[in-house]
Amino acid sequence: MSSPNSSAPSRREFLKTSSALAATATAASTLTMSRFAHAAGDDTIKIGLIGCGGRGTGAASQALSTKGAVKLVAMGDAFKDNLDGSLKNLLASDGSLKDKIDVPDDRKFAGFDAYQKVLAAGVDLVILATPPGFRPIHFDAAVKAGKHVFMEKPVAVDGTGVRMVLAAAEEAKKKNLGVGVGLQRRHQKEYLETIKRLQDGAIGDIVSARVYWNGSTPWCHTREDEKKKKPDLTEMEYQMRNWYYFVWLCGDHIVEQHIHNMDVINWLKGGHPVRANGLGGAEVRKGPDYGEIFDHHAVEFEYADGTRMFSQCRHIVGCWSNISEHAHGTKGYSDISGSSIKVAGGDAWKYRGERPNPYQVEHDDLFASIRSGNPLNEAQYGATSTMTAILGRLCTYSGQEISWDQALNSKISVTPKEFAFNATPPVVPGPNGMYRLAVPGVTTVV
Ligand SMILES: NC(=O)c1ccc[n+]([C@@H]2O[C@H](COP(=O)([O-])OP(=O)(O)OC[C@H]3O[C@@H](n4cnc5c(N)ncnc54)[C@H](O)[C@@H]3O)[C@@H](O)[C@H]2O)c1
């Protein structure tokens, strides 16, 4: 640790002090020391990256671009080739990042247990950017290990996972650990200003909201392509490579993407829906490489005060594309994503201020809060909005009206019993290579 401020403890001094205290100190006071080291503002925050794909690489680059001393010291991924690609990109991305990367071979970890090895590699903060199915396990382990966390959304794929995240979030609070969640709209200047005005009553009481993530279909790693790279590909390896299309890994696109839009309305309402009903299916995107997820969902959510949120998400090429959030009030209307407000018979308002990159701002805010000794903890709202999206999926899969409590407390878990590349995943294809999709009216989900 470099220490330009001589009055602040060096890392070695701090660690020495901590271990001398450890015999008598409680866990809480040891963590207070850890917090103090960062509050001194001259301590290197050592970062571990778990999940080295597109977003993990981006998040690492943003974490390394925050103010103060930071270093990427360990990386872990299920697949070594993804880890190597990520490190190569980070080293090549920008000359200024290069000096902040120190990941020798003995701090590169591959496999399902890579997260444990990263957590044990002397890191202060971990970035969790695997597919969301692993998030509850990784977040729980990170908090138990006393690490600060930046985790991507969604933070789970079922109620069991959400409950685990909520419990770990409480533990993180007690340990004064920073927890950032990749719902970057919450750090986006134009959203912050618009939501504040709406919460201050700019359009009166909110009576309904509309949210959309209607777009095209994302990437697909076909079995054929993966088999060309690895002829003895197992079913588990295939699903891990093509994770988007499996509920146990992705949660379906209503959870993986549409969470962003639902989170905006939860934020505006300061709560979450109490029940929902919906419909959906796989109308166009069908085939063995599209796994078990739907290509469209439409859900009506109801909040405790009766406010409705109407949601649509679709992955069908050639249809109306729209990613946005809207609120209707007793006095007017807001296109929240367009950061504009229109009051009936009154003035219109539109945000005209700065628009810094929210992916950078969310990291700036988290790291600054950790250094201040008063770390952000966004896990609760991250878990709540994840659960909102899961509730939507449970409704579209089953065709039933489902309450928040039923969904959150459901004992059904989609997590595999065993994590190994030769283990059987929770879903397997039938003889025709197709996976079984949920059938509304037949499938039970809670
Ligand atoms: N906030 C945003 O706007 C935003 C944007 C894109 C992605 N995301 C989120 O980021 C997460 C990752 O998405 P991505 O686009 O980077 O996917 P990706 O496929 O590019 O990367 C995921 C990486 O995780 C690795 N991985 C899988 N299981 C693992 C395990 N058990 N342990 C360690 N590594 C594992 C994969 O091998 C892969 O390298 C998802 O939750 C996604 O929803 C958020």
Nearest atom in ligand 1 to the alpha carbon of residue 182 is 1
Dist. CA 362–CA 385, nearest whole Å:
17
Peptide bond into 358 cis (omega under 30): no
Cβ–Cβ under 8 Å, residues 203 and 334: yes
Taking the C-alpha atoms of residue 126 and residue 143, their distance in angstroms, rounded to an integer, is 10
d(CA 437, CA 293): 7
Between the CA of 152 and the centroid of ligand 1 the distance, in Å, is: 8
Closest CA to 254 of 336, 191, 311, 184: 311
- What is d(CA 387, CA 20) in angstroms, rounded to the nearest whole number? 43
Q: How far is the CA of 332 from the centre of ligand 1 (A)?
A: 39
What does the pLDDT read at residue 61? 97
Bridge partners (DSSP) listed for residue 74 = 48
**Distance (Å, whole) CA 318 – CA 295:** 13
Task: Give me the sheet containing 348-350, strands edge to edge.
Answer: 348-350, 340-343, 332-335, 322-329, 206-215, 308-315, 296-303, 273-281, 402-403
Look at residue 7 in the predicted model and tell me its pLDDT. 31
- Strand 70-77 and strand 45-50: the pairing is parallel
pLDDT of residue 346: 85
Q: Do the beta carbons of residue 139 and residue 116 sit within 8 Å?
A: no
**Nearest atom of ligand 1 to the alpha carbon of 76:** 33
Determine which residue's CA is closest to atom 4 belonging to ligand 1: 55
Q: Which protein residues touch ligand 1 with a CB less than 6 Å away?
A: 50-56, 76-79, 82, 112, 114-115, 129-132, 134, 152-153, 182, 184, 240, 256
Look at ligand 1, atom 5, and give the residue with the nearest C-alpha: 55
The pLDDT assigned to 94 comes to 64
Q: What is the pLDDT of residue 17?
A: 30
What residue owns the CA closest to ligand 1's atom 38?
53
Dist. CA 297 → ligand 1 center (Å): 23
* Cβ pair 306, 274 in contact under 8 A: no
| Ligand 1 centroid, distance to 255 Cα (angstroms) | 14
Nearest CA among 58, 361, 384, 380 for reference residue 187: 361
Mean pLDDT by 10 residues, the chain (446 residues): 31 32 34 44 88 98 97 98 98 85 98 98 98 98 98 98 98 98 98 98 98 97 98 98 98 98 98 98 97 98 98 98 98 98 93 98 98 98 98 98 98 95 98 97 96
Distance CA 153, CA 129 (A): 8
Residue nearest to atom 40 of ligand 1 (CA): 131
Pocket-testing residue among 77, 87, 256, 386, ligand 1, by greatest number of atoms within 8 A of Cβ: 77
Name the pairing type of β-strands 402-403 and 273-281: antiparallel
Indicate the burial class of 52 (C-beta count within 10 angstroms; 0-12, 13-18, 19 or more). buried
CA 52 / ligand 1 centre spacing (Å):
7
Ligand 1 centroid–CA 352 distance in Å is 33
CA of 72 to the centre of ligand 1 (A): 18
Residue 132 corresponds to which tokens in the numbers above? 């969301």
pTM reported for the whole predicted model: 0.92
DSSP 147-171: -EEEEPSP--SSHHHHHHHHHHHHH
- The candidate with the shortest Cα–Cα distance to 240, out of 107, 82, 387, 393, is 82
